[in-house]
């Protein structure tokens, strides 16, 4: 009989403020509550430690990774409760810019993976919202698969979820769980958050686990919330609203292999070229040829 390798994953929905220490305390409290509820892995959202639109205020409040109080607090609570903590992201100083960096922390409080957000959110939305992450943040250049006791976890952040090639690459590299913890705007979240997560799960035969910021923040932005856990067949296992709190779901890693066996799309990919105009018409051969 195959041993049960299932585990309980928790997503912490937050409404992070402009005060890093307040946010640290909220994140640590949610990890403790999740552990008390039976969670083995706890994920926090993008920008766990600080949601701050002002570039000047952001730079005044962030520190290098080695001096970040939220990272230190979450490493400590991982050791204290013996849980894996996936920090959706923190803003950390990186030269003359800031890195939007995720961390995976093991049960001993050691950092086993780091990921800097690759795709930066530079958009103008129909409601007048305008975002230019590239003005403040450095973009990463490396996809990351983190080890966990239950299988490899592909680590991404927020806007990355719109780039399916990244998730396929992570799945092809062995990830059976994928994540996109986020600070999604309410407008784009209402339109696309659920369908993007279900699509990434279905395309790769992977779990999608994504904690989210939710509600009206001190800096004036409104985020969508709706932390999600989706299984490899695209079924929704758990979902929050916009209010801070926890959602939990039991994850059976074997379901990834099952979904990939039913629809082996990762193995069926074939190389192709894109043709234009007359190049797309197969050349007709003469009988003499």
Across 117-156, the runs of DSSP E, i.e. the strands, are 122-124, 130-132, 137-138, 144-146, 153-155
> Residue 10 forms beta bridges with which residues?
42, 248
Across the chain, the runs of DSSP E, i.e. the strands, are 7-13, 41-43, 84-94, 97-105, 111-116, 122-124, 130-132, 137-138, 144-146, 153-155, 177-179, 207-210, 214-216, 222-224, 228-230, 236-239, 245-251
76: annotated active-site residue: no
The residue length of the chain stands at: 289
97: annotated active-site residue: no
Which of 46, 52, 133, 239 is labelled catalytic? 46
117: annotated active-site residue: yes
| C-alpha to C-alpha distance for 40 and 30, rounded to whole angstroms | 13
Which of 11, 52, 117, 133 is labelled catalytic? 117
Asked if residues 87 and 77 have their Cβ atoms less than 8 Å apart, the reply is no
Which of 11, 52, 133, 158 is labelled catalytic? 158
Q: Angle, nearest 10°, between helix axes 194-204 and 164-172?
A: 30
Asked if residues 242 and 44 have their Cβ atoms less than 8 Å apart, the reply is no
Residues annotated catalytic, as ranges: 46, 117, 158
């Amino acid at each position: 009989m195959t041993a049960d390798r299932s585990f309980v994953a928790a997503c912490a929905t937050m409404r992070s403020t402009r005060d890093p220490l307040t946010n640290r305390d909220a994140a640590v409290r949610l990890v403790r509550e999740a552990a008390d509820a039976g969670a083995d892995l706890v994920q926090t959202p993008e920008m766990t430690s600080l949601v701050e639109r002002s570039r000047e205020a952001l730079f005044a409040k962030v520190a290098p990774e080695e001096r970040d109080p939220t990272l230190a607090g979450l490493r400590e609570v991982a050791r204290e409760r013996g849980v894996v903590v996936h920090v959706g992201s923190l803003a950390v100083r990186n030269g003359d810019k800031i890195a939007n960096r995720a961390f995976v922390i093991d049960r001993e409080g050691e950092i086993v993976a780091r990921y800097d957000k690759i795709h930066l959110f530079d958009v103008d939305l129909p409601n007048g919202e305008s975002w230019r992450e590239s003005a403040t943040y450095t973009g990463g250049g490396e996809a990351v698969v983190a080890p966990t006791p239950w299988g490899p976890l592909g680590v991404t952040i927020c806007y990355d979820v719109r780039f399916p090639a990244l998730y396929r690459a992570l799945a092809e590299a062995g990830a059976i769980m994928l994540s996109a913890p986020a600070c999604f705007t309410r407008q784009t979240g209402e339109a696309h958050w659920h369908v993007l997560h279900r699509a990434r799960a279905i395309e790769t035969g992977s779990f999608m686990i994504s904690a989210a910021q939710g509600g009206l923040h001190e800096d004036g932005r409104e985020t969508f919330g709706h932390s999600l856990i989706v299984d490899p067949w695209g079924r929704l296992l758990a979902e929050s609203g916009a209010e801070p709190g926890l959602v939990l779901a039991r994850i059976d890693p074997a379901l990834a292999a099952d979904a990939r066996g039913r629809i082996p799309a990762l193995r069926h990919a074939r190389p192709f070229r894109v043709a234009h105009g007359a190049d797309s018409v197969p050349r007709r051969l003469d009988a003499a040829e």
